Each structure stands twice: as C-alpha cells, then as structure tokens.
A and B are shown apart, each in its own frame.
Chain A
C-alpha cells in the first residue's frame, strides 16, 4: 500500500468520524438545551427529530406534486419549517405536560416516554409503518473527489455545515441574546430570576420549544443520510442522552467536546472491529468514565 493510499484512507476515516460527530452533536444540541439547561428528561426527544424528518418528506412530496420546478430549492425552506413544526409541538407539550412536572424529574421521564409512544403511533397512522425517504435535490447527491481515490460524500458535508450553523446559532443565542441571559439566570437561580422580573414560566416554555425546534432541524438533516420510520427517533435517544451527560449536563461546550470524543472513538473502533462491537466498546467506555466522573467532562460551576 502506497503512502497516498494510506493518506486517503486516513482522510476518509477522519471524515467518517467528523460526520458522525456532527450527527451526534446535532442530536445532542436540543437535548443539551432541554436536559442540560432545564433539567427536564425529555424521552420524546427522538420523536421531535422524527417530526423534522417527516416535515422534509412532506415538503419533498408536495413540491414533487405541485411545484416540480422548485425541486432544487425546497430544502432550506423545509428545514426552516421543520424547526417551526417541532417548535410548535414542543410549546404545546410543555404547556400540556411538562410544566406540571418540573419538581418531579423521574415522573417527567415516564410521562415523556408515554408521549413518545403516542407520537410514534401517530406517525405510523399518518405516514405508514414503512420507512420513507425524501427526494433530495441533486446538489445534495454524489460525492466530492478532490483527487483520485478520495471520495467525500456531499450529504456528509452538508450535515457538517448545518451542524456548524446550528451550534453557532445556539451558542450565540445562549450567550449573547436576552433570551439566553434569561435562560442562564433561571438555571442558576430560579427564585432570584423571578424576583428581578424574569418571567421564568415563559422562559421555560420558550426554552423547551427551542430545544424541540433544534431537534426538528437535526431530524431534517438526517433525511439526507438515511430513511425515516415511525420509530427512528427511539434509536437516537440513548446516544443523545449519553452525549449530553458525558459532556457535563449544564455545559454546551461539553456537549460539543463529548460528541467529538464519542464520534472519533466509535469511528476508530469501527475501523478495527465489527459495528456492534465498536458500539459496545464505545458505550462501555462512556459508562465507565461516567461512573468514575459522574458530573461529566465539564462540570457546571453553579450551585444546584
């Protein structure tokens, strides 16, 4: 094997790791807001991603039937719509269930699990039990080959770019906007935040809804990689929770770092072992590290 071949394999392997990293980070971001900032265990997080994915499917079907001319352009709008839909559902869910359960985290867990079962059945009844995939615009297909023997899939690049935008957006919003200020104030001291005039109830609702909206965008991005079924969401949920917990629940940067670590570990392990063994090895590593360092990589510097 020549040097350039090894270099190509290394590059593609690195890219596979990076692409897994963006997937994990996108999954974890919404949860980092909901679980990390608010402390709510949302087991229906995966289903909010599925809402986003089905939104893309719906849009692709609609453009195909009514406006085939727009087939190349619908995708960005569909992603925005995925955010809006997931945001609205998240708002309603917070209003109907979550706000009654803030004092009982374990009960939230069970209630949202029940919610996820219900949502799965709704997906199954309205879109069918079979997996569907959206018709993607041509510019998302194929791969980019900067030189011989090196193939970089475009959809991977797209997911990566989207992850970059969403992560940047969330970080900016959380640390530079009024909303972010209110969220951080509520998280670090709810009573005091209330006393200085922050409407914590409203902040909670908007925060939860934004987290769900980000999950919707994540689900939308995943349609470029794989197909969507009613139970796709449940495949991601444990991974997403581990990414957030491993990073240190209250730290957004921790989520970024842990997603990177987990993705690289898994993709390197996958190079040497079979897929399921690599998964087991990665999960075992995460669980053992969490047992030794339960607060995660980046501990919160606030009083609980």
Chain B
C-alpha cells in the first residue's frame, strides 16, 4: 500500500512534467525543422527565467523586475569565453592588435583587459555563469531583505539595477561590445556551435537542463522550504514570529532565481550565437515577468507553456501584424492581471480539472465541487486539489489565505 501511495504521489506531482518532457524532447524535434527547433530552443532559455520567477514571485511573493540582469550576466559570461575562443591570433590577423575581440580592436584597445583574462578557461567561464549573477543577487537581496524592504520598493530597485547595467554595457563599448553586444560566436572548445548537428545537441541539452531545473524547483516546493515560502508570502509576520529568518529564505529564493536565469542566458549565448544589452534592460526584464504571468505564476510547467506561447505569438504577430502586437501584449498584461491572475495553469485548475474529475468518477466529483469555490482571484497552489489528501495539504491551505 505504501509503495502504491508513493507511486500515486510521484504520478500526481510529475505527470505534468512528463507531458512537457514528451512535448519538448519528442514532439518538437520530430515535427520541426532545425531552424524552428533552434527558435524553440531560444524561447526555452527564457523559460529558465520564467521558472525562476515562479519560485520568486509565485512562491516567495517577491516580484523582481530585473531578471534580465541575471540572464544577461550569465549570457555575457558565456559569450566572453566563446568570443575569446573565436578571436585567436590567426583568425584576427587583419586587426591592428591580433588576438583580442574585434570590437576591442575597433575601439582602439591594444590589450585584453585584466578581467577578461580568466575567461580563456571554460571551467572558469562556467563557474562565472553561476557565480557572478548569484553574488550580485546575494548583495542586492541581502541588503534589502535584511532591512525588510520588499514588495514595490524591491521591484523599483531591481529595475534601477537593470537600468544601471544596460547603461553601463552600452557605455563601455570597448570592453563589452556596446549596443551590438558580443557577436560572431563560433566554436566551443573547437566544436562548431553553428552546425545543424550542434544545434540539435544544444537543443536537447537545453531542454534537459530546463526539465532538470523544473524537477529541482518542484522538489524545493514540496520540501519544508516550499511550504515555508508559501507561508511567508501569505503571512510573513507569523512565520517571523515562529522563529524563522524570513529574510534569508527570500535571499535564497532570489539567488536561486538569479542562477536559473543565468543558466538560461548562457544557453542563449550558445544556441543563438550572440549576446547583447537588449536582453538586460528594463523592457526585456518586465517582458519576462509576463511569460510567467501568462502561464501561471504558481505553476512551473505553466510558465514554460506561457513562455512558448507569448514568444510564438510575438514572432508570428510581429512578422504579420507589427501594429497589433503591442496592443495584444497590452491586452495580455491587463487581462492576465485583472481577470486571470493565475494564468493558464489557473484556468486549467479552475475549469478543466474539475470537468475532467467530474467525468472520471463520482467519488472525485465531491472533491471537484470544492475546487470552483476556492477563491480564483487569489494565487492558489497548482497542485492543491490533487494533493489535498497528500503532503501538500498544508501548503494548499496556507496559500488560499489572503496574501
């Protein structure tokens, strides 16, 4: 019986991940050519940011409008390594200083700056992809959350950080490539990342990493930490009075979201072959929030669907009806916030799932009747009806309280 229960728990919690895995790893590669698949791969790198936001915003209740900063830092760390590999003295022989990246040569730099030097080594670059954004996140969030600054003020500060970094990158053209960013990335340790086979490999690596990240976040959600995050979001004072260090939970979640975004940025640089400040500033950072919001700020899998949907929509509309796209985006923002705060996953929870359950059997019908009465305008745990009998019962109950 116990084994049966365990299987049911795993089934109940991970079947949505399994379906997503099936779509990403089987359906997309079989039905799309490499160009489209590479495009999906690009969108999936934003998915890392989106699941980071689900943890940060949906679970911990902290909205960051600066996730582009971490996406950008991760991407730049990767791009710096790839750029150094692409600018060996032989292929840059026509420059006045061979062996340094082309944009440095154009800006009359004659030597590689010292902080570029370590990026000759791949292990260091990979380390920097995670470490630099996490460190920045740690500094920002530690200073803010320890002083109990949250909510709106945190959002404004993260936005200011996004502005600072994008102005800095654009201004320091000689060191960062300026507005154009770091372009013409060719090889990874001699392996041509622009060939079709490499694009397939990178797509699968990216999708696998993303699924791994989702499972990791799901594990965190189901642990005691996840329950505490929800409790903190809804009644911060009570958690604090219970003796927990609320600030450090928030710091942890912010760093987690930053590290996830940075992995996304690094995979972006690998798959798309460039990195530019247009992914760092305020506008992309807020756009990334809408990916998570459309899919459902409480659902990891939903956030991926939201990311894919918005980006497919963006590509389609900005090609066919460029004038309509911004209106549609505006409608999405306003509509999601005013009418469906839980996004697609919330709609699924409140409409599709009860219907499915009602069809399945009479016994589950009773449970389904509970679901629509749950306040739909408040974020509810995505798995709450499924896990009402399971371990997540506490989380479900807490999250239905008023935030």
A residues apposed to B, CB below 8 Å:
39, 41, 97, 100-101, 105-111, 113-115, 117-118, 120-121, 124-125, 234, 238, 241-242, 245, 274-277, 279-280, 283-284, 286-287, 290-292, 294
Q: CA–CA, A109 to B153, complex, Å?
A: 12
Hey, which chain A residues are within 8 Å of B152, CB to CB? 39, 41, 105-106, 109
Contact partner of B333 among A105, A110, A274, A279, CB < 8 A? Answer: A110
Hey, which chain B residues are within 8 Å of A275, CB to CB? 171
Contact partner of B157 among A107, A113, A279, A290, CB < 8 A? Answer: A290
Asked whether B290 is an interface residue with its Cβ less than 8 Å from the other chain, the reply is yes
Contact partner of B167 among A111, A113, A279, CB < 8 A? Answer: A279
Q: CA–CA, A241 to B155, complex, Å?
A: 11
Task: State whether A276 and B171 are in contact (beta carbons under 8 Å apart), knowing that A110-B337, A113-B286, A291-B143 are contacts in the complex.
Answer: yes
Task: State whether A238 and B337 are in contact (beta carbons under 8 Å apart), knowing that A118-B326, A245-B153 are contacts in the complex.
Answer: no
Task: State whether A238 and B159 are in contact (beta carbons under 8 Å apart), knowing that A279-B167, A294-B147, A294-B153 are contacts in the complex.
Answer: yes
Which 9 A-B residue pairs are closest in the complex by CB-CB distance?
Answer: A114-B333, A276-B171, A118-B330, A121-B326, A294-B149, A291-B143, A111-B337, A117-B330, A114-B334
Q: CA–CA, A115 to B152, complex, Å?
A: 18
What would be 18 A-B contacts, judged by CB atoms less than 8 Å apart? Answer: A39-B152, A41-B155, A106-B63, A110-B333, A111-B337, A114-B329, A114-B331, A118-B327, A121-B327, A241-B160, A245-B153, A274-B171, A276-B167, A276-B168, A279-B171, A287-B157, A287-B164, A294-B153
Say how far B72's CB is from chain A's closest CB, in angstroms.
15
Q: Which of B161, B171, B290, B333 has the most A CB atoms < 10 Å from its CB?
A: B333
Nearest residue (CB) in A for B159 is: A238
Q: CA–CA, A68 to B337, complex, Å?
A: 47
Q: CA–CA, A124 to B143, complex, Å?
A: 41
Within residues 11 to 31 of chain B, which ones have a CB less than 8 A from any CB in chain A? Answer: none
Say how far B283's CB is from chain A's closest CB, in angstroms.
7
Q: Do the beta carbons of B160 and A117 come within 8 Å of each other?
A: no
Q: Do the beta carbons of B168 and A115 come within 8 Å of each other?
A: no
Given A109-B152, A280-B164, A291-B140, output 16 extra A-B contacts at Cβ < 8 Å: A39-B152, A101-B338, A106-B155, A109-B155, A111-B333, A111-B334, A117-B329, A118-B327, A234-B283, A276-B167, A276-B168, A279-B167, A279-B171, A280-B167, A283-B164, A287-B160
Interface string of B137-157 (1 = CB under 8 A from A): 000100110010101110111
Hey, which chain A residues are within 8 Å of B65, CB to CB? 109
Nearest residue (CB) in B for A249 is: B153
Q: CA–CA, A105 to B144, complex, Å?
A: 18
Asked whether B163 is an interface residue with its Cβ less than 8 Å from the other chain, the reply is yes
Asked whether B319 is an interface residue with its Cβ less than 8 Å from the other chain, the reply is no
Task: State whether A101 and B337 are in contact (beta carbons under 8 Å apart), knowing that A106-B63, A283-B163, A291-B143 are contacts in the complex.
Answer: yes
Nearest residue (CB) in B for A281 is: B164
Q: CA–CA, A128 to B326, complex, Å?
A: 15
Q: CA–CA, A280 to B362, complex, Å?
A: 63
Task: State whether A115 and B330 are in contact (beta carbons under 8 Å apart), knowing that A97-B338, A283-B160, A287-B164 are contacts in the complex.
Answer: yes
Q: CA–CA, A24 to B323, complex, Å?
A: 32
Asked whether B341 is an interface residue with its Cβ less than 8 Å from the other chain, the reply is yes
Hey, which chain A residues are within 8 Å of B163, CB to CB? 238, 283
Q: CA–CA, A238 to B165, complex, Å?
A: 13
Within residues 159 to 197 of chain B, which ones have a CB less than 8 A from any CB in chain A? Answer: 159-161, 163-164, 167-168, 170-171
Hey, which chain B residues are within 8 Å of A105, CB to CB? 151-152
Q: Do the beta carbons of A114 and B149 come within 8 Å of each other?
A: no
Q: Do the beta carbons of A294 and B160 come within 8 Å of each other?
A: no
Hey, which chain A residues are within 8 Å of B63, CB to CB? 106, 109
Q: CA–CA, A114 to B293, complex, Å?
A: 12
Q: CA–CA, A284 to B161, complex, Å?
A: 8
Nearest residue (CB) in B for A274 is: B171
Say how far A242's CB is from chain B's closest CB, in angstroms.
6
Q: Do the beta carbons of B326 and A242 come within 8 Å of each other?
A: no
Say how far A289's CB is from chain B's closest CB, in angstroms.
11
Interface string of B235-268 (1 = CB under 8 A from A): 0000000000000000000000000000000000
Q: Do the beta carbons of A276 and B170 come within 8 Å of each other?
A: yes
Nearest residue (CB) in A for B293 is: A110
Q: Do the beta carbons of B326 and A294 come within 8 Å of each other?
A: no
Hey, which chain A residues are within 8 Å of B289, CB to CB? 110
Hey, which chain A residues are within 8 Å of B334, CB to CB? 97, 111, 114-115, 118
Task: State whether A118 and B144 are in contact (beta carbons under 8 Å apart), knowing that A106-B151, A110-B290 are contacts in the complex.
Answer: no
Q: Do the beta carbons of B338 and A100 come within 8 Å of each other?
A: yes
Q: Do the beta carbons of B326 and A280 come within 8 Å of each other?
A: no
Hey, which chain B residues are within 8 Å of A114, CB to CB? 329-334, 337
Q: Do the beta carbons of B333 and A277 come within 8 Å of each other?
A: no
Q: Do the beta carbons of B160 and A242 come within 8 Å of each other?
A: yes
Q: Do the beta carbons of A238 and B333 come within 8 Å of each other?
A: no
Q: CA–CA, A109 to B160, complex, Å?
A: 15
Nearest residue (CB) in B for A116 is: B330
Contact partner of A113 among B170, B171, B327, B333, CB < 8 A? Answer: B333
Q: Do the beta carbons of A238 and B282 come within 8 Å of each other?
A: yes
Hey, which chain B residues are within 8 Å of A276, CB to CB? 167-168, 170-171
Hey, which chain B residues are within 8 Å of A280, CB to CB? 164, 167-168, 171
Hey, which chain A residues are within 8 Å of B149, CB to CB? 294
Q: Do the beta carbons of B160 and A238 come within 8 Å of each other?
A: yes
Q: CA–CA, A111 to B333, complex, Å?
A: 6
Say how far B210's CB is from chain A's closest CB, in angstroms.
24
Say how far B304's CB is from chain A's closest CB, in angstroms.
19
Within residues 290 to 313 of chain B, which ones have a CB less than 8 A from any CB in chain A? Answer: 290, 293
Q: CA–CA, A276 to B331, complex, Å?
A: 34
Say how far A202's CB is from chain B's closest CB, in angstroms.
22
Nearest residue (CB) in A for B139 is: A291
Within residues 99 to 156 of chain B, which ones have a CB less than 8 A from any CB in chain A? Answer: 140, 143-144, 147, 149, 151-153, 155-156
Hey, which chain A residues are within 8 Å of B329, CB to CB? 114, 117
Contact partner of B341 among A41, A97, A107, A287, CB < 8 A? Answer: A107
Hey, which chain B residues are within 8 Å of A101, CB to CB? 337-338
Hey, which chain B residues are within 8 Å of A238, CB to CB? 159-160, 163, 282
Q: Which of A105, A108, A110, A290 has the most B CB atoms < 10 Å from its CB?
A: A110
Say how far A115's CB is from chain B's closest CB, in angstroms.
6
